[in-house]
Structure 1
Amino acid sequence: MTNALRASHPAKGSSQEGGRLRRGPLLLMSVATGLSVAGNYFAQPLLDVIGRELRLSTTMAALIVTAAQAGYALGLMTLVPLGDLVERRRLAVALLGATSVFLLVSAVAPSGPVLLAGTLLTALTSVAAQVVVPFAVTLAAPEERGRVVGTVMTGLLLGGLLARTASGALSEPAGWRTIYWVNAILVAVVAVLLWRFLPRLHTPAGLSYPALLRSTAALFRDEPVLRLRAGIGALSLASFNVLWTAVTFLLAGPHYGWSEAQIGLFGLVGVAGTLSTPVAGRLADRGLVGWVGGVGTALLALSWAATGMGGGGSLAWLLGGVLVLNAAQQAVLNANQNVLYALRPEIRNRLNSAFMTAFFAGGAAGSALTSVVWVHGGWTGVSVLGGTLAAGSFALWALDRARGGDLKGSAGTPGR
């Protein structure tokens, strides 16, 4: 049992049992991560209809996606490190409560600026998901860490992907604001359930908040593995977000002419890709995390060849490329997290904060670049951008591999 686990103080309903995390609490944590981040993705299939109702330009509408990524990156940098300072269950529940309130701001937004503010604040506090992930890892036995990361991250990824489908499906019969009302209620409910069924866990770092933030930033200087994984992660999410920002405009355009509901259903293609996440976790537990990252980054780059061919109306190529891209991105993320969580368990929240800040900063940059490239280069320009970013993530992995870099598995087993 880890020192962090010995330092915890289980309350009634504790999921701590012989160092293993029981299925019920694990699934609850997975659902919580999915619901908490879902609000960051509702607007993606609705950009066209939101832009018409609020009279936004294409560039302004695309900034809603950027605001979600930027707010999430800010929350990762300023709020997630608090998991090494305050009691984690209380922190997670408080952040979920705030997320519920800010979703209501988006639901009643009368203008673009208010919607941008609501999106930014929702994303800021939705980093509760990144408090819950290391929480679950700390409660898990070392030999099941990959499986636990895979399960919780599957919930998070499904939340993002199904959010697109749900928002599109509800938009046509009930208006685009409905999904924000529904999610606000669900997030509030899951916050209550987490408070009831998770144990208290307090692993104080013995630092003030400013010192905690400084020590988090210093990790980029002190941990070369973090720098590498942050670079791979930032480029991979930037590539991923290029697709999901631009595909709404493609599917709503003349080649496809889809409605909001149809565009939302397109998100189900990405759901199939989440099947790679548990597989990647199990491979990581077997010491193959290095190759999971390598194959994932390679497939991420190759997927853009097929995705690019879908711009002229070839749905089969588009579906195939998107399916591979989603599976590859999730495998890369799982590999990165398993490596980082094995580095220094006593500062797991700060490592997660540093990595995820870079990760979502890359995602925000990808979304922002997409809005410009789409206007000037269309789907061809978008495909070149996405493929270039993905190739960059593979190049970083290959460079580290060539140098014999530190590619260690989730339980400290050298990657093979």
Structure 2
Amino acid sequence: MTSSIAEMDSDRHRRGLSSGLILMLAITSGLGVANLYYNQPLLADIGRAFNASPGEVGYVSMFTQIGYALGMLLFVPLGDIREKRKLISLLLICVALSLVSFAESRSLGWMYFASFAIGFTTVTPQIIVPLAAQLAQPEERGRVIGTVMSGLLFGILLARTVSGIVGDLFGWRSMYWIAAACMLLLSLLMYRQLPATKPQVSASYGALLRSMLQLARKYATLREASLIGACMFGSFSVFWTSLTFFLEGPPYHYTSSIAGLFGLVGVAGAAGAPIVGRLADKVPPYRIIGALILLTLLSFVLFGLTGFSIAFLIAGVVILDLGIQGTQVSNQARIYALEPAARSRINTVFMVSTFAGGSIGSTLGSFAWHTRGWIGVCLAGGGLVFAAFAVWSAHRMTGRKPQRA
């Protein structure tokens, strides 16, 4: 029996991932991560429901991102020592309960708690991505990661569109009841469709957590990728947290559903992720990362100089999402090649840093909007991108030989 399982596992790796399974992983990642972003087009509506200021309601996004970072730190490393199919299904049930809690919030304080719980339990996409890398053949790993990450970014962007429309038609609470039902359905589907995988490491939970610090110390590429990820996703959160407030004011005066439609614009940028993934299979990813950071910086220049023109605002959104997503895919392609048996822990270090940056960006975006308006938002977002470029440049100047993924 053991040899039969080994033969099946070997055969699966020779054949690589089927397109159907890749698509399922991408869709699940997208629907899972969407839970973190339903609130952004609804922040103004939520603020009115609780008579809260933009600064107070902005903490909803911040607590979600903090919860997500902590959830990744505590749960995602389990992917190296636990069977992933059961782990993913259980976490999907937990996030469904958290979404119900948010839908039933009767005070802003309870909403903060529910927001944290949603983030804390919405970590399945970060277990799915290293699982996809594990199942993929080495020569197709960049393409597979790019496809799954496209699904993830589609979820981030389309979450705003869907929640904006649902919020306008049925109220913001309805969105969270719908999301909870989706998570329960996904839990069943993932348990039935995902292949069982053997843990790659035998270690205690405490040792597993301690080993992440050792991995960060061991690999300069991981440290660089984590810092760049934090800065880039921080800039992404600065923009999207503030966009609803900007679009509801002059000269646009858009409703939450129209503001949410800007997520559709970003899909054009997300669609480029598989292309970047294929490039990362052929070109050293660190070169792609440098170019994409500069491209993202250009988007904030467009926002600052021409943000009051709808055409330039749309162009900036496409460039921003392509730059952020492409940088993330390229970073993941190279860090997953560092130590295959530790992919879940490596992904944890990278993604905890990334979403810690996102939580800082959410807070910074609300503060910048409150104090300096749209120009403040552009300066804050652009400043974080510039910091990412400084990290990338400093790593090149140290003389270290960049590691090819």
Q: TM-score range by the shorter chain?
A: over 0.9
Could you tell me how far 1:10 is from its partner in structure 2?
8.6
**Structure 2 counterpart of 1:175, from 138, 162, 171:** 171
**1:168/1:218 CA distance change after superposition, 3 Å:** same
Paired position in structure 2 for 1:239: 235
Residue 350 in structure 1 maps to residue 350 in structure 2: no
Paired position in structure 2 for 1:365: 360
Could you tell me how far 1:210 is from its partner in structure 2?
1.1
Could you tell me how far 1:173 is from its partner in structure 2?
1.3
Task: State how far apart, in whole Å, the 1-side matches of 2:241 and 2:371 are.
Answer: 15
Task: State how far apart, in whole Å, the 2-side matches of 1:54 and 1:347 are.
Answer: 44
Paired position in structure 1 for 2:136: 140
Letter in 1 for 2:372: G
**Structure 1 counterpart of 2:312, from 312, 317, 329:** 317
Off by >6 Å, runs of 4+ in structure 1: 10-15
Residue 268 in structure 1 maps to residue 264 in structure 2: yes
Paired position in structure 2 for 1:100: 96
Could you tell me how far 1:13 is from its partner in structure 2?
12
Residue 290 in structure 1 maps to residue 286 in structure 2: yes
Task: State how far apart, in whole Å, the 1-side matches of 2:187 and 2:88 are.
Answer: 8
Residue 185 in structure 1 maps to residue 186 in structure 2: no
Contact 1:46 1:176 in 2 (8 A): yes
Contact 2:33 2:122 in 1 (8 A): yes
> Match of 2:228, SS?
helix
**Structure 1 counterpart of 2:296, from 294, 300, 303:** 300
Task: State how far apart, in whole Å, the 2-side matches of 1:387 and 1:381 are.
Answer: 10
Task: State how far apart, in whole Å, the 2-side matches of 1:247 and 1:98 are.
Answer: 30
Structure 2: segments with no counterpart, 5+ residues: none
Paired position in structure 2 for 1:401: 396
Letter in 1 for 2:144: V
What TM-score results when the alignment is normalised by the length of structure 1?
0.93
> Match of 1:146, SS?
helix
Letter in 2 for 1:297: I
Task: State how far apart, in whole Å, the 2-side matches of 1:119 and 1:27 are.
Answer: 28
Task: State how far apart, in whole Å, the 1-side matches of 2:312 and 2:7 are.
Answer: 51
Paired position in structure 2 for 1:205: 201
Paired position in structure 1 for 2:375: 380
Could you tell me how far 1:288 is from its partner in structure 2?
3.4
Task: State how far apart, in whole Å, the 2-side matches of 1:381 and 1:8 are.
Answer: 61
Task: State how far apart, in whole Å, the 2-side matches of 1:245 and 1:11 are.
Answer: 49
Instruction: Pick the structure with more helix per residue.
Output: 2
Task: State how far apart, in whole Å, the 2-side matches of 1:9 and 1:366 are.
Answer: 46
Mean CA deviation greater in 286-295 or 326-335 = 286-295
Task: State how far apart, in whole Å, the 1-side matches of 2:296 and 2:371 are.
Answer: 24
Structure 1: segments with no counterpart, 5+ residues: 1-5, 411-416
Task: State how far apart, in whole Å, the 1-side matches of 2:99 and 2:3 are.
Answer: 35
Could you tell me how far 1:11 is from its partner in structure 2?
13
Task: State how far apart, in whole Å, the 1-side matches of 2:52 and 2:158 are.
Answer: 25
Task: State how far apart, in whole Å, the 2-side matches of 1:330 and 1:8 are.
Answer: 40
Contact 1:237 1:363 in 2 (8 A): yes
Paired position in structure 2 for 1:278: 274
Letter in 1 for 2:155: G
Count the aligned residue pairs: 404
Task: Tell me the C-alpha RMSD between the 2 structures.
Answer: 2.1
**1:289/1:79 CA distance change after superposition, 3 Å:** same
Paired position in structure 2 for 1:35: 31
Could you tell me how far 1:114 is from its partner in structure 2?
1.7
Task: State how far apart, in whole Å, the 2-side matches of 1:178 and 1:8 are.
Answer: 48
Task: State how far apart, in whole Å, the 1-side matches of 2:284 and 2:55 are.
Answer: 42
Could you tell me how far 1:7 is from its partner in structure 2?
11
**1:50/1:7 CA distance change after superposition, 3 Å:** farther
**Structure 1 counterpart of 2:157, from 147, 161, 175:** 161
Could you tell me how far 1:131 is from its partner in structure 2?
0.5
Could you tell me how far 1:62 is from its partner in structure 2?
0.6
Paired position in structure 2 for 1:414: none
Could you tell me how far 1:12 is from its partner in structure 2?
11
Contact 2:221 2:403 in 1 (8 A): no
> Match of 2:36, SS?
coil
> Match of 1:207, SS?
coil
Task: State how far apart, in whole Å, the 2-side matches of 1:8 and 1:135 are.
Answer: 22
Letter in 2 for 1:232: I
Letter in 2 for 1:347: A
Deviations, residues 317-351 of structure 1 (Å, cap 9, x unaligned): 21111111111011100111001000000111000
Could you tell me how far 1:400 is from its partner in structure 2?
2.0
**1:385/1:347 CA distance change after superposition, 3 Å:** same
